[in-house]
Amino acid sequence: MTNTADLHKRAVVQPDPTSPQHLSRQTGISLVEQIVQTVTARIDDKRLRAGARMPSIRQYAEANGVSRFTVVEAYDRLVASGYLESRRGSGFYVRERSPLANTAPSNPSPDQPSRLDIVWLIRNMFRQTPSQSVPGSGLLPNDWLDSELIGNALRAVSRQQQSVLLQYGTPQGFLPLRQQLQLKLAELEISASPEQIITTTGITQALDLVARHFLQPGDTVFVDDPAWYLMFGSFSMLGAKVVGIPRLQDGPDMARLAELAALHKPKLFVINSVLHNPTSTSLSAAKAFQILKIAEEHDFIVVEDDIYCDLHPGTTIQHATRIAPLDGLNRVIYLGGFSKTLAANLRVGFIAASHEHARHLADRKILSTMTSSELGERVVHKILTEGHYRKHTDRLRTRLAAAREKVSLQLEKIGMRAAAHSPAGMFIWADAGCDTALLTERALEHNCLLAPGSLFSPSQLPSTHLRLNVAMLSDPAILPLLEREISRLGQAGRDGIVGLHGKP
Amino acid sequence: MTNTADLHKRAVVQPDPTSPQHLSRQTGISLVEQIVQTVTARIDDKRLRAGARMPSIRQYAEANGVSRFTVVEAYDRLVASGYLESRRGSGFYVRERSPLANTAPSNPSPDQPSRLDIVWLIRNMFRQTPSQSVPGSGLLPNDWLDSELIGNALRAVSRQQQSVLLQYGTPQGFLPLRQQLQLKLAELEISASPEQIITTTGITQALDLVARHFLQPGDTVFVDDPAWYLMFGSFSMLGAKVVGIPRLQDGPDMARLAELAALHKPKLFVINSVLHNPTSTSLSAAKAFQILKIAEEHDFIVVEDDIYCDLHPGTTIQHATRIAPLDGLNRVIYLGGFSKTLAANLRVGFIAASHEHARHLADRKILSTMTSSELGERVVHKILTEGHYRKHTDRLRTRLAAAREKVSLQLEKIGMRAAAHSPAGMFIWADAGCDTALLTERALEHNCLLAPGSLFSPSQLPSTHLRLNVAMLSDPAILPLLEREISRLGQAGRDGIVGLHGKP
């Protein structure tokens, strides 16, 4: 993805984390920088652990064929950035670090999740390398997506008159895209005029704007349990209390939702109604209606995150009722985007809301990022208007269904049970029968990045579940690796879970 | 800028705000939408005032040659969005609105500024039309910028392999751009490795990330007085107290800064050291050093917003010492960007900070927008590496210096005094001798958008100042318009100011 990819690749394939690197004078990156980046990566993904002793400056210089000055400068920078510490007369050691420690609220309540693991996983996700297997990824692999489609649309956009880019643009986003989104939403029976739609820097910004508008410190926000982990960090940083509503096969546990709503009086309930992350289940009509009734009774806003919308195969294959069409964007705020189906780095997401909410959220957007760049929005607009999007998502759905079926059978064979059943979507929420945090550490040693269940738990409880991306499991080495490591962890892993829960 | 520009243009040139529009069936925008947008625009820029009666549905339909159903639907939407209200038996009226009312902190302290005016001006800025004069604008006009330069770079970027866009990219931003920024900063004697640099969605996101990291509700943040108004809204929304430090010819009033720092113990001081917005003055070396000493004594962070950096003519023409080079990015966080010199809609800004701060701010960025799109970052990178940027900014500086000299003379002739003297920069902070909020309302009736002084006041005090963009004053009608309206306001305006201050 960037020039660092090569470096990380080398870092990853080295069995000994302190062993020599293949430094290059051709990359345009200084040797100092290359050393810093490699050591940083090794520490961040825990192949170099706190307390480990680094090679001496002389050793490092000789092993890598660089001057000692280069190593001194790199070690100095690593000390400055808190990765290493220098112990007088003894050398350099990997430091104990908790990078997000001081971003926590000053008086964290005991039920606030720690964000360390979330950030740790996210950082690892961003450090994906071509050689790495990433069944934990939240995106489809490059060879499933269509870089030609993106490239053609971008070239068409780049031939347009570019004076439109010179000024700020409109805070609500590129109008022709919002008009296309109006049509797209109309197909879902969601009626939203362009002024009710605001483009955002991915769904991440959409959630952030909504959370900042509705949540005050101390407020409660409901999420699915399990749910997309990034939200937990985002809401916690606002001082909000994050409470999980157990997610069943056809939607939330309604009795729990009613009970917890009465108890906590939440401001928001963020839910994936369709192809829920991580279980890929979808909401039944009855539950959609009941959620809305409970939301009315306890006066909270339902934030319907529909990022997986275009991977849904239709209601003849899996039921799915969205909440927004029932409510007419009154107390529902609907979020969507194109990171899963087109290209995540275009960073195009959107919010559809009532006129009043849309106006407030557009003001929030101005104060956060002023406007969003129209480049990505124009690329998405081009693809939507030229009719290529529908064919592209048709192909994705067909391919996903086939991969899903194949992977499900393979998982059964190695004794991993899907915790929820779904015929569609990117993810299988599989029960590995052992502490998947430990499993994730083991797999990483084999260059395989998993997404352990504890990440998806709003209270970060240990878990035996894993989120597996079916499109990432084509590498035939992954499932045997999981089988082997699960069996090794076996009893120990189960004991760990029991011990952590404090129950037999 | 968008398809709405034409509509707004029509709206603006109509002398009677309820008079017929030229609705078009060719724009691809529904007639209902066209009516909604036009009425919305007229209400937002106050040509249609609260309480005004709208034409009846029949009148509106006949005057515009559309069906009554169309008008009914448009009026209904305007009622739903809170722009109009329907009075039974009497018709439709423009509603009293305070759009940001419920975004205010629940217990606003009396010294918190109202954000209504800020949002009002910003919305108007975004509604600029080709026919409008905008001496209040914060950007250079399109014909001063270089859309060819942007277009060529974008076309080059669009010919690259687009698979890089399929995944999220790196949270810190496109690495080659950060390497270019390292070189650019080195020229200013600011030493920052690429991992200390984070790209942002314009300087707006940079400030937002910094504010969210360092400020808790109730904390105090210092800003220049006057200063860039958008910050006030952004900081207030976080529950922070915004305190202004009077800005003099060579930097802040140091006695005031020391006194207020002891009193308020601020967390941050946000300052434009070079070509301060709105006065275009720059910091002296002595004051740069003293600010740092006071920051150390009272343990606050200096946020050096250097967005006007590349418009500065060099220290032989105007003194300018940045604070970051003195401090080595220890307690200074340096912000920069390309909205003023290249293209605002690329949305490319950046933060340079200590390793520790950079790590935290990158985590904040992940939770706010995940990553930023690399498209704009690649375009800026292309322009920086190909050496066109320096020539382009040379031309801008030369042209600005000439325009500045000419405008200064013209202003003197009409009796408008520059409140601060500067040989460079985009802005003149001029004293009109009357309440410039009133002047702004008058000028808007003549399709001329001003930036009144009260906007730039952290406490939103009435002001006789205006921020004039020298590059926007080429229209020979503007200064005569100002002269005429100032003279009309004359004594009344001065009385207004006195009255508002509560002093004779």
The reply to whether A155 falls in a domain is: yes
Any idea how long chain A is?
A: 504
Q: Are residues A297 and A153 in the same domain?
A: yes
**DSSP letter at B421?**
-
The reply to whether A173 falls in a domain is: yes
The count of other CB atoms within 10 Å of the CB of residue B131 is: 12
Q: Which of A369, A372, A385 to mutate to test the interface with B (most CBs of B within 10 A)?
A: A369
pLDDT higher at B90 or A276: A276
Q: What is the ipTM of this complex?
A: 0.78
Long-range contacts of A154-158 (CB under 8 A, 24+ apart): A154/A375, A154/A379, A154/B157, A154/B158, A154/B162, A154/B165, A154/B375, A155/B155, A155/B158, A155/B159, A156/A382, A157/A375, A157/A378, A157/A379, A157/A382, A157/B154, A157/B158, A158/B151, A158/B154, A158/B155, A158/B157, A158/B158
The reply to whether B101 falls in a domain is: no
Q: Are residues B198 and B327 in the same domain?
A: yes
Q: Are residues A286 and A366 in the same domain?
A: yes
Nearest residue of B to residue A208, measured between CA atoms: B368
Poorest-pLDDT segment among A125-129, A221-225, A320-324: A125-129
Given A365, A386, A407, the domain boundary residue is: A386
Q: Are residues A73 and A168 in the same domain?
A: no
> Which helix or strand (DSSP H or E) is residue B444 part of?
helix B436-445
**DSSP letter at B56?**
P
Mean pLDDT, chain B, integer: 85
Q: What is the mean pLDDT of residues A34-51?
A: 82
Nearest residue of A to residue B179, measured between CA atoms: A29
Confidence at B500, pLDDT banded by 50, 70, 90? very low
Per-residue pLDDT tens over the stretch B371-421: 999 999 999 999 999 989 999 999 999 999 999 999 999 999 999 989 988
Q: In which domain, by residue range, is B482 found? A: 107-144+395-501
Query: For residue A177, what is the domain's CATH number?
Result: 3.40.640.10
Residue type, A135: P
B126·A171 Cβ contact <8 A: yes
Query: For residue A33, what is the domain's CATH number?
Result: 1.10.10.10
Give A329's contacts in chain B (Cβ within 8 Å).
none
Q: Are residues A22 and A38 in the same domain?
A: yes
Q: Are residues B366 and B496 in the same domain?
A: no
Q: Are residues B318 and B279 in the same domain?
A: yes
Specify the number of domains making up chain A: 3
| CB-defined contacts A:B, below 8 A | 284
**DSSP letter at A240?**
P
Cα–Cα distance measured from residue A121 to residue A456, given in angstroms and rounded to the nearest whole number = 11
Given A361, A386, A411, the domain boundary residue is: A386
A residues 170..209 contacting B (CB < 8 A): 170-171, 174-176, 179, 193-195, 201-202, 204-205, 208
B168·A106 Cβ contact <8 A: no
**DSSP letter at A342?**
T
Q: Are residues B189 and B252 in the same domain?
A: yes
Q: Are residues A316 and A195 in the same domain?
A: yes
A residues 311..350 contacting B (CB < 8 A): 339, 343-347
Nearest residue of A to residue B159, measured between CA atoms: A155
Residue type, B28: G
Give B3's contacts in chain A (Cβ within 8 Å).
175-176
> Which helix or strand (DSSP H or E) is residue B122 part of?
helix B116-126
Q: Which residues contact B54 (CB under 8 A, 6 or more apart)?
A: B18, B39, B60, B75, B84, B91, B92, B93, B94
pLDDT of residue B112: 32
- The rounded percent of chain A whose pLDDT value lies above 90 is 59
Distance of residue A56 Cα from the nearest chain B Cα, in angstroms? 23
CB contact B107 to A (< 8 Å): no
Nearest residue of A to residue B36, measured between CA atoms: A195
Confidence at A185, pLDDT banded by 50, 70, 90? very high
Give A106's contacts in chain B (Cβ within 8 Å).
216
The reply to whether A184 falls in a domain is: yes
The reply to whether B102 falls in a domain is: no
Is residue B372 within 8 Å of A347, Cβ to Cβ? yes
The reply to whether A220 falls in a domain is: yes
Query: For residue B113, what is the domain's CATH number?
Result: 3.90.1150.10
pLDDT higher at A383 or B421: A383
Mean pLDDT, chain A, integer: 85
Distance of residue A81 Cα from the nearest chain B Cα, in angstroms? 5
The minimal CB distance from B163 to the residues A128, A147, A213 is found for A147
CB contact A167 to B (< 8 Å): yes
Q: What is the mean pLDDT of residues B431-455?
A: 90
The reply to whether B497 falls in a domain is: yes
Q: Are residues A61 and A178 in the same domain?
A: no
Give B368's contacts in chain A (Cβ within 8 Å).
204-205, 208, 234, 368
Q: Is A251 helix (H, G, I), strand (E, B) or coil?
A: strand
pLDDT of residue B393: 96
Whether residue B252 is predicted with pLDDT greater than 50 in this model: the reply is yes
Q: Are residues B448 and B320 in the same domain?
A: no
Given B388, B419, B438, the domain boundary residue is: B388
Per-residue pLDDT tens over the stretch B35-64: 888 888 888 777 888 888 888 888 888 888
Whether residue B501 is predicted with pLDDT greater than 70 in this model: the reply is no
Q: Are residues B169 and B302 in the same domain?
A: yes
CB contact B129 to A (< 8 Å): no
A157·B161 Cβ contact <8 A: no
The reply to whether B153 falls in a domain is: yes
